[in-house]
Amino acid sequence: MSLTDKFGRPITDLRISITDRCNYKCIYCRTGNEGALYGDLPFQDYLRMARVLVGMGVTKIRLTGGEPLLRQGVVGFVRDLAQLRPSNGHKEPLDIALTTNGHLLAGLAQPLKAAGLSRVTVSMDAVDPDRFTRITRVPGGYDHVLAGIRAARRAGLWPLKVNCVLMRGFNEDQIIPFGMFAREEGVTVRFIEFMPLEEDRQWTPNTVVTLDEILARMAEYRPLVEIPHARSETARRYRFDDGVGEIGIIAPVSHPFCGQCSRIRITSDGKIRTCLFSVWDHDLHAHMQRGASDEELADFIRGVVQKKEERHHIGEPDFVPASRTMVHIGG
Ligand code: SAM
């Protein structure tokens, strides 16, 4: 069985937010306050949703949040997910990934790998401790995150990606230092264009540091050579001219890739979202609670996927902000 939306895009990629709590308050994501919480579900509920979706053609699951490593029991959940087998004659095992701010990763990298996690993406928006604190608004995090990145590498959580959201006025001067970091640490650094998904509603087109600008700035340090990327990949990929160090750029604002979108998301409270910029979500968990069978859940999911938006409208006059901010969706 496969899951395809009305524009012919196969849905193979599922993101599950396992909590919308976060221990950081990054300026491009959170307010300085706690913010509203939607709460989370028992792992067995996410596991059932995942099992149904894997049966429908999902081959990749990424755990996210909020901060997923705040959730007690995450290692056991990964172990349970790793028992699921993709359908449809897909030969590879289920690809299980995690996006984390890395603060708690040092102690969890090895157990997560042993449980069946394939790879990890760590968010890190500066390679300078003071700037890092200014962005996350939590003192002392930088050393934890660096230790987490190194522990993930030792544990064999590979390929290891470090995501940096660039926001004008805060960290665009970190582009070249991140180029050096990618080469020294042997990680792929991916720059992400800032999207209007933050709690503070401070996004304007001018706050976005675009792909072209990132490339121009990095070229002042060393030339980059583009590497071909898979059609479904969101990042454009580059290597430095001497072959050492990989850079990715995710440019949803200046170079949208909605035509290749293969994702749906489940929020921490069990709602399906078909696009980051959806203005509504679809209550899968409510169906479970009413006693729906797996077949009924699959029918519901199939109907929801038909409503997947063709594209986002960032920066256009008819743009309507998403009904949830990033921390409550799961990036
Ligand atoms: N706490 C985890 C982390 O920090 O990676 C997972 C959740 S976080 C919401 C997921 C990703 O969304 C992070 O890489 C973060 O940098 C990115 N993100 C958050 N707000 C964003 C925004 N307004 N624009 C672009 N990316 C954003």
| CA–CA separation, 326 and 331 (whole Å) | 6
Which of 165, 195, 214 maximizes ligand 1 atoms within 8 Å of its Cβ, making it the mutation to test the pocket? 165
Cα–Cα distance, 78 to 155 (Å, whole number): 15
**Four-residue CA torsion sign, 262, 267, 272, 275:** negative
User: What is the reported pLDDT for 229?
Assistant: 80
Q: Which two tokens stand for residue 291?
A: 């006693």
The pair phi, psi for residue 197, each rounded to 5°, is: -130, 15
Confidence band, pLDDT 50/70/90 cuts, at residue 301: very high
The pTM of the full predicted model, rounded to 2 decimals, is 0.97
Residue 261 near ligand 1, beta carbon < 6 Å: no
Rounded to the nearest whole angstrom, what is the distance from the C-alpha of residue 88 to the centroid of ligand 1? Answer: 32
Q: How far is the CA of 241 from the centre of ligand 1 (A)?
A: 29
pLDDT of residue 36: 60
Mean pLDDT of the residues in the chain:
95
**Atom number, ligand 1, closest to the C-alpha of residue 121:** 5
With a 6 A CB cut-off, is 166 part of the ligand 1 pocket? no
- Strands across the sheet containing 235-240: 224-227, 235-240, 246-250, 188-193, 161-166, 119-123, 95-100, 60-64, 13-17, 263-266, 271-273, 282-283
What pLDDT is stored for residue 88 in this prediction? 67
Tokens of 268: 């921490």
Q: Which of 99, 112, 107 is nearest to 144 (CA)?
A: 107
**Helical H runs in the chain?**
43-55, 74-81, 109-115, 129-136, 141-155, 175-185, 211-219, 284-289, 294-305, 326-329
Residue nearest to atom 5 of ligand 1 (CA): 100
pLDDT at 205 over 90: yes
pLDDT digits (tens, 9 = 90+) for 118-140: 999 999 999 999 999 999 999 99
pLDDT band at 35 (very low <50, low <70, confident <90, very high): low
User: Measured from the CB, is residue 198 less than 6 Å from ligand 1?
Assistant: yes
pLDDT digit string, tens, across residues 240-253: 999 999 999 999 99
